[in-house]
């Protein structure tokens, strides 16, 4: 049985006072020992203080990005060991905004995943097709490529979560239907079984992301291959995010 995992990706949002308030509200609303894994992923500059605020709560800390080198002349970048130092358990790699706005390539992402795992971070690796790719029936080709260019026997399947985030669903208010999500998650799991084997692939968690809300979470999370959510906009509201967490617990009968 895969333990569900719900993470909030704050992206480039909130000032410090808002971040502190959000964490305080989440701590008040979310039960202290829930039957799933939880994380918040603030901007780099808030990692350490948010880490302090979530102490004693079920939330763990995640970063939104990382570089693959350990140290050196890479102005503006952050090393995996620095994220560990800052208290991170998780790091998001390959978010569609980094692929499509910041131009990150599969080759770069493959290096980041390995460097992050080497430093002891658990990776949330994002994949997902754009609207024109879905409309051209190329969703599976895109997902296969994004899996194949990063996964390999040297990537630990127990230290990675895949997040399926169709680009057309991110921040648009248009979520994938539960059936669309299940089909994509099933395909991703089959593809992972080619890299590892059926047993390892069936233990690997796949989150859904893209306009998840308290209203649609239960139906999405009820799908057998959907193991949690990577939540953007709705993770900035304590009430909404805590209801997504409760909906996940209910959907999985935990
Ligand atoms: P959204 O973002 O929930 O605001 O659509 C999800 C994500 O990009 O991780």
- pLDDT digit string, tens, across residues 87-134: 999 999 999 999 999 999 999 999 999 999 999 999 999 999 999 999
pLDDT in tens, 197-207: 999 999 999 99
Q: Nearest C-alpha to atom 6 of ligand 1 is from which residue?
A: 232
Q: Nearest C-alpha to atom 2 of ligand 1 is from which residue?
A: 232
User: What are the catalytic residues?
Assistant: 95, 165
Enclosing H/E stretch for 8? strand 5-9
pTM, to two decimals = 0.98
8 lines ligand 1 (CB under 6 A): no
Q: How far is the C-alpha of 35 from the C-alpha of 5, rounded, in Å? A: 10
232 lines ligand 1 (CB under 6 A): yes
Set out the domains of the chain in order of their start, with CATH numbers: 5-251 (3.20.20.70)
**Which parts of the chain fold into alpha helices (H)?**
16-29, 47-53, 80-85, 96-100, 106-118, 131-135, 139-148, 178-195, 198-203, 217-221, 238-251
pLDDT in tens, 64-96: 999 999 999 999 999 999 999 999 999 999 999
pLDDT of residue 202: 97
- Checking DSSP bridges between strand 90-93 and strand 59-63, what pairing results, if any? parallel
Tokens 């399926």 sit on residue:
164
Atom of ligand 1 nearest to the CA of 97: 8
170 lines ligand 1 (CB under 6 A): yes
Tokens of 244: 């997504």
């Amino acid at each position: 049985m895969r333990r569900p995992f719900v993470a909030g990706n704050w992206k480039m949002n909130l000032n410090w006072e808002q971040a502190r308030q959000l964490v305080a509200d989440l701590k008040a609303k979310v039960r202290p020992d829930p039957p799933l894994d939880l994380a918040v992923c603030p901007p780099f500059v808030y990692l350490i203080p948010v880490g302090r605020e979530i102490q004693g709560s079920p939330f763990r800390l995640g970063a939104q990005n990382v570089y693959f080198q350990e140290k050196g002349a890479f102005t503006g970048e952050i090393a995996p060991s620095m994220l560990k130092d800052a208290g991170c358990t998780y790091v998001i790699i390959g978010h569609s905004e980094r692929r499509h706005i910041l131009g990150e390539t599969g080759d770069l992402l493959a290096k980041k995943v390995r460097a992050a795992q080497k430093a002891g971070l658990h990776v949330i690796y994002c994949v997902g097709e754009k609207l024109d790719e879905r409309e051209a029936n190329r969703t599976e080709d895109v997902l296969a490529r994004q899996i194949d260019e990063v996964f390999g026997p040297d990537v630990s399947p127990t230290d990675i979560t895949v997040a399926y985030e169709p680009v057309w669903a991110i921040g648009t208010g248009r979520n994938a239907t539960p059936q669309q999500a299940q089909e994509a998650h099933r395909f991703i799991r089959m593809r992972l079984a080619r890299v590892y084997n059926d047993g390892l692939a069936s233990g690997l968690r796949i989150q859904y992301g893209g306009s998840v809300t308290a209203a649609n979470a239960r139906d999405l999370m009820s799908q057998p291959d959907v193991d949690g959510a990577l939540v953007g906009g709705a993770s900035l509201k304590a009430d909404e995010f805590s209801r997504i967490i409760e909906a996940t617990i209910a959907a999985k009968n935990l």
